[in-house]
Amino acid sequence: MAKKNIAPDTRVRVDTWDACVDFPIFDAKTRSLKKSVIGAAGGVIGANASNVVVVEALKNINIHLKHGDRVGLVGHNGAGKSTLLRLLSGIYEPTRGACRVQGRVAPVFDLGVGMDPEISGYENIIIRGMFLGMTRKEMLKKIDDIAEFTELGDYLQMPLRTYSTGMRVRIALGVVTSIDPEILILDEGIGAVDAEFMKKARGRLQALVERSGILVFASHSNEFLAQLCDRALWIDKGEVRMEGGIDEVVEAYEGPAAAAHVRKIMAEVKADDSTKASE
């Protein structure tokens, strides 16, 4: 993908060394689960020294990302994609091993977090930005641009509770795509807007990805992955099962048909980029 205009910033890095994330589940009965159970979905369940049930959500993760890396995550439900995103954003510190995140992280797990239904759309734009690590001043500078993007006009002065779901998503997307993160962490689930608007949002999303130093993106949409990322990690049962180009990983994960689709999109993106460059 396009990363021409960015001077590489060596300071921005995400590193993990044999990082493990174990969740203690205090209210689960330990005895019935004394023997570790390995299921197809979800992490490995075991018990720790003090006999608390533990879910090994991530095991021995070694990832080293630097400026310019755009990584997609694929894997089953419960394979540990979201947990890995939280580890890489510094929300979970590893229970074993080590993890270091250098740079300003903007994690987007849920578009609406921090939105207050009782205050106006304008206020919500500023507050949502603050949750993503911007200051009030920075958001005030961007607010006109975001307001224009949402196409909500005077409606932005109404309290958010009067908005439809689609209108809320517009605001959320408008804010998320306006920030300047050094490390952008995107979870799946951005895409419940009408198609016309999505086309517009996609352009902004791509611009955002180009601005940000590092992108880690978990998605079930191969199309999105191919458009935004250039590498992929296959997460399975809490471990990195495979890493490589998106087409290779998707081929191993979903089969040749999906990989062919990915290659087609990648070729389109490349053609798109070169026409843009020649213009």
Dist. CA 81–CA 187, nearest whole Å? 8
Q: Is 69 in the site for other proteins (CB under 8 A)?
A: yes
Q: How far is the CB of 74 from other proteins (least distance, A)?
A: 13
Could you tell me which of 44, 110, 42, 109 has the C-alpha nearest to residue 77? Answer: 42
Nearest by Cα to 42 from 178, 177, 235: 235
Q: What is the spatial distance between Cα 126 and Cα 111, in angstroms, rounded to a whole number?
A: 14
Among 37, 38, 98, 271, binds other proteins (CB under 8 A): 98
By CB under 8 A, the residues from 31 to 60 that bind other proteins are none
- Comparing CA positions, the residue from 79, 9, 22 lying closest to residue 50 is 22
Nearest to 230 by CA among 221, 212, 243, 211: 243
The answer to whether 229 and 1 are in contact (CB under 8 A) is yes
Site for other proteins in 190-229 (CB under 8 A): none
Residue 221 to residue 224: CA distance in whole angstroms: 5
Q: How many residues bind other proteins (CB under 8 A)?
A: 45
Rule CB under 8 A: which of 119-148 touch other proteins? 127, 130-131, 135-136
- State yes or no: residue 271 binds other proteins (CB under 8 A): no
Rule CB under 8 A: say whether 105 interacts with other proteins: yes
Q: Under the criterion CB under 8 A, does residue 100 sit at the interface with other proteins?
A: yes
**Site residues, other proteins (CB under 8 A):** 13, 15, 17, 23-24, 26, 62-66, 68-69, 71, 86, 89-98, 100-101, 105, 107, 109-110, 113-114, 116, 118, 127, 130-131, 135-136, 230-231, 233, 243, 245
